[in-house]
Structure 1
Amino acid sequence: MQVELLALTQRNPALTADTVAGIGDLATIFAGQSTYPEAIMEFAGRVCYRSTARMGTAPEFIAARVREGHEDIIEHVVVTVRVTNSVEPLYWRTRNRHCEVTDVGANTWIVSGNTRVWLDFFRHGVALEALPILKAVAPSVFAEFESEEWRLRDWEIERLGEGMQHQSPLSTLHSPIFPSLLPVQLGPMRVTLLGYTRPLLDDPSLLVDHGAATFFFEGISRTCTHQLVRHRLASFSQESQRYVELSKGGWQAVIPPAVAENAEAMAELTEFWRIAEEKYARLRALGIRKEDARFLLPNAAETRIVTTMNFAAWQHFLWLRAVDKAAQWEIRALGQEVLKMLYTIAPEVFAEHWRVYQEQFQ
């Protein structure tokens, strides 16, 4: 069996320390001390605990989460390989249903999975030929495989870099590209494309299953994320009300436009939120743990969440949430910003969504 790297989650090229300076805590993602894929993982984990200021200060952060079994953060990086001279990938999908396996003929397969999928494979003695590649992409995730047998030699690391030629470069996409991929702010809501993967395949239609994108959503309500997490073929890392104090999170109430336009309704919501803050603080003063005090926080409370889906799952999300006028206003606004960015990086995949969006909303 031969295994060749085709693509992995890469940085959104519009994101640099300069372009995100002063935009919330986005710049902290560049404080990671390992690969960019691992920076995404650590950032996602630290979003959960509101500890992004500590990015890069704990080399064992990712490995510790893996040992604890809190592996959602490693689902935000996707790796695609080509496997040749083997029929084994035929059975990999039965081993883990969260991978994508495509038979392209002549005992050749395209296989995509997030690093949690690959870790599951390796722990069960499956796809071990791919382990050196995955260790180079995310060494902390696969730290339990420390044998020299699983390490890439220098020339193999160089070859790994050469393998990235199979990932579509931005120069192939329509321009201007960078402005359309910068974080977008809509009131309290901010939408940021952290990274994506779009392998350059002989059959472009395969990109639907083997491409993926990771977004960071901020300033949205728990009402919005309740809808978002219903999309089950996705990975989520959300700021925790169990671990993050209300005052530390700095959460505000997300105000529906219909309420904001009605002075009397606005006064009611403002008063309710003030009371919720006071009662939360009172419960904490009485020794009630954060995990219990949060029970009185309303759906209006702001939250932050890192979300990863492959392009097929994003397609489904966009049909329901971005281009359907029946969609709830907040998640529709979020979905439309997601669509704009996804259409920029993969226009052939999201062309129909874009057409409907233009007809319905422009």
Structure 2
Amino acid sequence: MRAVEPQVHLIARPELDYDEVAAYLQDVGGESWLERVDRGDLDDAQNLAEFAGRICYRSWKPGLNPNVTKVRTDQDVYLKNILASAHGSVLEHVSFTFVLHNVSRVVTHELVRHRAGVAVSQESLRFVRLDDIPFWFPEWAQKDQELMDRATGLMQQIEEFQHWMADHFGLDEEGVPFHEKKEKTSFMRRFAPEGLATGLVWTANVRTLRHVIENRTAPGAEEEIRLLFGKIGELMVKEAPSLFGDYTVEDGAWVPGWRKV
């Protein structure tokens, strides 16, 4: 048995093609918007959200749409107005991809309830044979010595049974076809605990992220998933402060300034 901690790695974020953005803006007379955002470090995630919002009203500058006589020129103010007015559809264009590492199948079973705006690729125990049982213990459990002794003993028994089955089925013998390994490995996973740590790639758009961060850090949420999405919330505040800076954290619960965007 191997004790682990849930980890989050942000591996992909939006990237704009500014040449194509410029070509479009030149065609519609909105070049001044790109000149305004092209100062210092470009924030592609927030620029994409703003771009999507402005195309809805043709609000690149006053007068392009005769109904628009003034525009917000500060991106932070503009995006906060998007949140406040619940114009959340423009946030769906902005997606981030994470590796969720050493998370239990307790977590992954709950994550599948969030399907809108999400893509998932999870480690398959039909193909990946277990040779140990990585497992996360919360702090309160680690302080209970009798519980830990019994739990680690049980995990060691499960590991030993996994090794016994692999030997019994001869999976490491030369010439065993892969389809047979897959069949037996699929059977063997049935004896793995739901708390087994695994990994997945998880992609979500900003609208979904805002909902899931709030939902899965709430006081009534499962403790491991609360820990995980607290970490994701911290990452997102750094990545896109104008889109996630309205949250306040109260005893681990991430409470948004604007809900149901």
Q: Settle same-fold status: TM greater than 0.5.
A: yes
Please give the residue correspondences for 1:1-362 in structure 2 after superposition, counting only pairs within 5 Å.
Answer: 162-163=19-20, 171=41, 199=48, 200-201=50-51, 202-203=53-54, 204=79, 205=82, 207-233=90-116, 234-247=118-131, 251-287=133-169, 289-322=184-217, 324-352=218-246, 354-355=247-248, 357=249, 359-361=250-252
Answer 1 or 2: higher relative contact order, Cα 8 Å, separation at least 6: 2
Structure 1 residues 164 and 330: alpha-carbon distance in aligned structure 2, compared to 1, 3 A threshold: farther
Q: Letter of the 2:113 partner, please give it.
A: R
Structure 1 residues 169 and 280: alpha-carbon distance in aligned structure 2, compared to 1, 3 A threshold: farther
Gap runs ≥5 in structure 1: 1-23, 27-39, 41-75, 81-159, 174-194
Structure 1 residues 169 and 346: alpha-carbon distance in aligned structure 2, compared to 1, 3 A threshold: farther
In the alignment, the residues of structure 2 paired with residue 259 and residue 163 of structure 1 have an alpha-carbon distance, to the nearest angstrom, of 54
Is the Cα contact below 8 Å between 1:196 and 1:214 reproduced in 2? Answer: no
Secondary structure of the corresponding residue to residue 236 of structure 1 = strand
Q: Letter of the 2:121 partner, please give it.
A: S
Structure 1 residues 197 and 262: alpha-carbon distance in aligned structure 2, compared to 1, 3 A threshold: same
In the alignment, the residues of structure 2 paired with residue 78 and residue 299 of structure 1 have an alpha-carbon distance, to the nearest angstrom, of 34
Is the Cα contact below 8 Å between 1:255 and 1:300 reproduced in 2? Answer: no
Structure 1 residues 230 and 209: alpha-carbon distance in aligned structure 2, compared to 1, 3 A threshold: same
Is the Cα contact below 8 Å between 1:241 and 1:290 reproduced in 2? Answer: yes
In the alignment, the residues of structure 1 paired with residue 152 and residue 188 of structure 2 have an alpha-carbon distance, to the nearest angstrom, of 20
Task: Report the TM-score when normalising by structure 1.
Answer: 0.45
> C-alpha displacement at 1:213, in angstroms?
1.0
Is the Cα contact below 8 Å between 2:125 and 2:189 reproduced in 1? Answer: yes
| Greater displacement, 250-259 / 284-293 | 250-259
> C-alpha displacement at 1:161, in angstroms?
5.6
Gap runs ≥5 in structure 2: 1-6, 23-33, 55-78, 83-88, 170-182, 254-261
Q: Count residues in correspondence.
A: 184
Q: Deviations over 1:264-295 (max 9, x none)?
A: 11011101101111111222222271111000
> C-alpha displacement at 1:163, in angstroms?
2.7
Q: Deviations over 1:2-47 (max 9, x none)?
A: xxxxxxxxxxxxxxxxxxxxxx9x8xxxxxxxxxxxxx7xxxxxxx
> C-alpha displacement at 1:321, in angstroms?
0.9
Structure 1 residues 77 and 337: alpha-carbon distance in aligned structure 2, compared to 1, 3 A threshold: closer
Secondary structure of the corresponding residue to residue 135 of structure 2 = coil
Q: Letter of the 1:163 partner, please give it.
A: E
In the alignment, the residues of structure 1 paired with residue 185 and residue 40 of structure 2 have an alpha-carbon distance, to the nearest angstrom, of 44
In the alignment, the residues of structure 1 paired with residue 155 and residue 166 of structure 2 have an alpha-carbon distance, to the nearest angstrom, of 17
Bigger CA radius of gyration:
2
Structure 1 residues 278 and 342: alpha-carbon distance in aligned structure 2, compared to 1, 3 A threshold: same
In the alignment, the residues of structure 1 paired with residue 40 and residue 188 of structure 2 have an alpha-carbon distance, to the nearest angstrom, of 47
Q: Letter of the 1:347 partner, please give it.
A: P
Is the Cα contact below 8 Å between 2:162 and 2:188 reproduced in 1? Answer: yes
Cα root mean square deviation, aligned: 3.2
In the alignment, the residues of structure 2 paired with residue 346 and residue 284 of structure 1 have an alpha-carbon distance, to the nearest angstrom, of 47
Structure 1 residues 164 and 333: alpha-carbon distance in aligned structure 2, compared to 1, 3 A threshold: farther
Identity of aligned residues (%): 23
Number of the residue aligned with 2:174: none
Secondary structure of the corresponding residue to residue 171 of structure 1 = coil
